[in-house]
Chain A
């Protein structure tokens, strides 16, 4: 059973530039596989995705596009008003969706939702969290 939620104040993320900063980038010369490591922060509009390491998956050969960004080693997603934490996150740049898996915790204002998997559509701001969802409501807030 999953829970619906909406992220506040999200700008249209689809065609905003993405900036990735990290301590280090390693590119395999033969395959082109690229891995950012050390304090990786992916920024796009109001969305910030932080991870320990981030693997870049490119689109078809030499189209110069990024298909997916796979963050691992503890991931934190922050938008204007909400934040979410998990072990891993897959950011599909093409369709602007983020899927976070493993010890997911979503903090919305004072409410905390936890579960196994979280999916967010950055364009609509809609998201679902499922897998043993537990909600911690702060009464009287």
Chain B
């Protein structure tokens, strides 16, 4: 008999302790837990939520256009932000542009920052502009401008050019139709040009 009493007594105790434990566990979930503030952004999100919401912004923006003389200009940017007081003027980041002229040559222009101003018909590359042109010419410039309606790229600041046979320093650079109506496109380095050719590599 003794053994049976101990068993039923322990069951009686458990009948009391277990529900109370469950109740305590349950309350810690709601009563004593920290309050969660849904409006507060996730602390480690780098993006400023307020700014994102306020400004109209396109990510993965693309522009494509053809100039009067038939050159195709395409511009891709990771973000394009419209200027509040000039909606046709977009500030672009991480720009990759391609200019395909009718002579079959392709010029690549990349830059960290830029502006596409369709009202003025101009595009501007800033911040570490890298141009990969035809015939093995590649150049770096602080700033580069381009027209949307005619085929003309130009930089009025000094450029450093890696040419097919050597390094070239020039005061200005332009890519445009050759004068005299010939349908050829030329790269014009002006404002004092200096080529260093160190013999057959």
Query: Contact: A65 with B137, CB < 8 Å?
Result: no
**Does B5 lie at the interface of the complex (its beta carbon under 8 Å from any beta carbon of A)?**
no
Most buried by B among A14, A58, A63, A64: A64
How many interface contacts (CB-CB < 8 Å) are there between A and B?
92
Query: Contact: A26 with B164, CB < 8 Å?
Result: no
**Does B160 lie at the interface of the complex (its beta carbon under 8 Å from any beta carbon of A)?**
no
**Assembled-state Cα–Cα distance A56/B189 (Å):** 15
**Assembled-state Cα–Cα distance A65/B198 (Å):** 9
Of B22-30, B48-56, B72-80, B178-186, the one touching chain A = B178-186
**Does A52 lie at the interface of the complex (its beta carbon under 8 Å from any beta carbon of B)?**
no
**Assembled-state Cα–Cα distance A20/B192 (Å):** 11
With a CB–CB cut-off of 8 A, which chain B residues contact A23?
190-193
* Given A15-B199, A17-B197, A24 contacting B165 (CB threshold 8 A): no
**Does A21 lie at the interface of the complex (its beta carbon under 8 Å from any beta carbon of B)?**
yes
**Does B68 lie at the interface of the complex (its beta carbon under 8 Å from any beta carbon of A)?**
no
Query: Contact: B201 with A64, CB < 8 Å?
Result: yes
| Distance of B193 from chain A, by nearest CB (Å) | 4
Query: Contact: B165 with A25, CB < 8 Å?
Result: no
Q: Mark A17-61, 1 if CB is under 8 A from B, else 0.
A: 111111111111110100010000000000000000000101100
| Distance of B197 from chain A, by nearest CB (Å) | 4
Q: What are 18 contact pairs spanning A and B, CB under 8 A?
A: A16-B199, A17-B196, A17-B198, A18-B198, A19-B194, A20-B195, A23-B190, A23-B192, A24-B189, A27-B186, A27-B188, A28-B178, A28-B185, A28-B186, A29-B187, A30-B105, A32-B164, A65-B201
Apart from A20-B194, A63-B200, what 19 extra A-B contacts exist at CB < 8 Å?
A: A17-B196, A17-B197, A21-B193, A23-B192, A25-B190, A26-B187, A26-B188, A27-B187, A28-B178, A29-B133, A29-B175, A29-B186, A29-B187, A30-B103, A30-B184, A62-B136, A64-B165, A65-B165, A65-B201
In the A-B complex, the 5 residue pairs with the closest CB atoms: A32-B135, A17-B198, A30-B103, A25-B189, A29-B185
